[in-house]
Amino acid sequence: MKYILATDLDNTLVGDDQATKNLNQKLAAKRQELYLIYATGRSYSSAVELMHKKQLLEPDYWVTGVGTEIYHQSQRNTFWESKISDQWEPQIITSIAQSFKQLSPQSLREQNPWKISFYLNQPQNSDILEELKTQLNELGLAYQMIFSSGRDVDILPYNANKGLAITYLRKHLHIPVELTLVCGDSGNDIHLFEQSTLGTIVNNAQPELINWYECNLSPNLYWSNCSYAWGIIEGLQYFQLLK
Ligand code: GLC
Ligand code: MG
């Protein structure tokens, strides 16, 4: 039976070119044994650009925009899009979030109909995220907010994130949790690790993910000794998926 390798791109698969190359060679030699999925915060166009720039393998599926978009052979999954449109009110959320001067909108390329993204100007201003949540909650809006790398603020539908998108694909492909390995380094990967699959946190992970890991220790989760794609290789070996 095939297994799934679902990995984040920036600072996980990508970050150390030698490591990426080494992992690519290992996976290419056994390409038929796995479903390869890239799960990234980037937009699809930006992720594809990175694939070409860093000579990444072509994945079977793309989960982009922090789980708001799923692509297969360049085709968007419209079923997923209609599912995550449930109770999603982007205009109201955007207008409230824009009133916080500590938040600067990210580029248009990184926005999509289900992803409203900002940069927090100063990491020490993270209290305002609680204030923003309070205002959204008072209006009874359905959403989730994901804070990554002390800087990136993503507001998404309540039922869209990397973890939920991977679970949707995993079920679609009929692969059990024991044969699914997810890998990541930052806050937007936390939901990946919450899906009861196997998980590898690369050594160079951000504090928000390490803190989460330390509060959620489990035999299914492994914080690797190596960084970037070396950490993915270590995780594949630890869980005996790469023989
Ligand atoms: C990527 C995306 C950005 C997002 C961040 C965290 O950097 O480009 O839009 O905020 O991931 O999810
Ligand atoms: Mg990352």
Cα of 187 vs centre of ligand 2, distance in Å, is: 8
Measured between alpha carbons, how far is 185 from 65 in angstroms, rounded to an integer?
A: 16
208 lines ligand 1 (CB under 6 A): no
Q: Give yes or no for residue 243 having a pLDDT over 80.
A: no
Measured between alpha carbons, how far is 180 from 142 in angstroms, rounded to an integer?
A: 29
191 lines ligand 1 (CB under 6 A): no
Taking CA atoms only, the protein residue closest to ligand 1 atom 11 is 41
Query: What's the confidence (pLDDT) of residue 216?
Result: 98
The pLDDT tens digits for 213-238 are 999 999 999 999 999 999 999 999 99
66 lines ligand 1 (CB under 6 A): yes
The pLDDT tens digits for 83-94 are 999 999 999 999
Query: What's the confidence (pLDDT) of residue 163?
Result: 98
The pLDDT tens digits for 199-209 are 999 999 999 99
Taking CA atoms only, the protein residue closest to ligand 1 atom 12 is 41
Q: What is the mean pLDDT of residues 101-108?
A: 97
Taking CA atoms only, the protein residue closest to ligand 1 atom 10 is 152
Query: What's the confidence (pLDDT) of residue 53?
Result: 98
The pLDDT tens digits for 118-149 are 999 998 888 999 999 999 999 999 999 999 99
What phi, psi does 51 have (nearest 5°)?
-60, -45
What phi, psi does 72 have (nearest 5°)?
-140, 125
Cα of 234 vs centre of ligand 2, distance in Å, is: 17
Nearest ligand to the CA of 144 is 1
Q: Can you tell me whether residue 62 is helix, strand or coil?
A: strand
Query: What's the confidence (pLDDT) of residue 125?
Result: 86
- State the average pLDDT for the chain: 97
State what percent of residues in the chain have pLDDT above 90: 98
Asked whether the whole model's pTM tops 0.85, one would answer yes
The pLDDT tens digits for 157-173 are 999 999 999 999 999 99
Query: What's the confidence (pLDDT) of residue 102?
Result: 96
68 lines ligand 1 (CB under 6 A): no
Q: Which residue(s) pair with 75 in the sheet?
A: 72
Q: Can you tell me whether residue 14 is helix, strand or coil?
A: strand
Query: What's the confidence (pLDDT) of residue 158?
Result: 98
Cα of 41 vs centre of ligand 1, distance in Å, is: 4
Measured between alpha carbons, how far is 207 from 186 in angstroms, rounded to an integer?
A: 8
